[in-house]
Structure 1
């Protein structure tokens, strides 16, 4: 049976959100049901940075970093401000 990743979309209004702030928000959400969630993959659209950074491919329209996250234990995808920042946790 294929694991289905839970997807959470958050919209933050009223303050600027940078990568560090977005990461703290995502960690707080991921930690609600997991004591020590592990960050598997992430993307920062504005800075055009992602991890793992060595993956530049796309598979069926999904970027390599996201495919990596899905295939390496990712159970939770947290998107902040319409994918400005995306974090995948195990």
Structure 2
């Protein structure tokens, strides 16, 4: 499942985006953040290399990640919802 959030006229930094993503994910059940990508800074966690694809996303999917939350196309978070 994927949720896309667009927020205009308000600056969202990584800390605010993380808080918002956690809040949204909790509405779907018990949520565990597995991985994330900060496109603004070019940083991802975990920082693994794999297959030339979105390795942080593959990492999460291989660990049961079933919810992706994108915020303003600047940040993305992968959660496992129980």
What corresponds to 2:23 in structure 1?
Answer: 28
Could you tell me which runs of 5 or more consecutive residues in structure 1 were left unpaired when the two chains were aligned.
1-5
Once the 2 structures are TM-superposed, how far is the Cα of residue 57 of structure 1 from its aligned partner? Answer: 3.0
2:17 and 2:77 mapped to 1: Cα distance? 9
What corresponds to 1:3 in structure 2?
Answer: none
1:52 aligns with 2:43: no
Q: Which 4+ stretches in 1 moved above 4 angstroms?
A: none
Q: TM-score, normalised by structure 2?
A: 0.89
Secondary structure of the structure 1 residue equivalent to 2:9:
coil
**RMSD across aligned positions (CA):** 1.2
The alignment covers a number of residue pairs equal to 80
Could you tell me which runs of 5 or more consecutive residues in structure 2 were left unpaired when the two chains were aligned.
none
2:51 and 2:78 mapped to 1: Cα distance? 17
1:16 aligns with 2:11: yes
Q: TM-score, normalised by structure 1?
A: 0.82
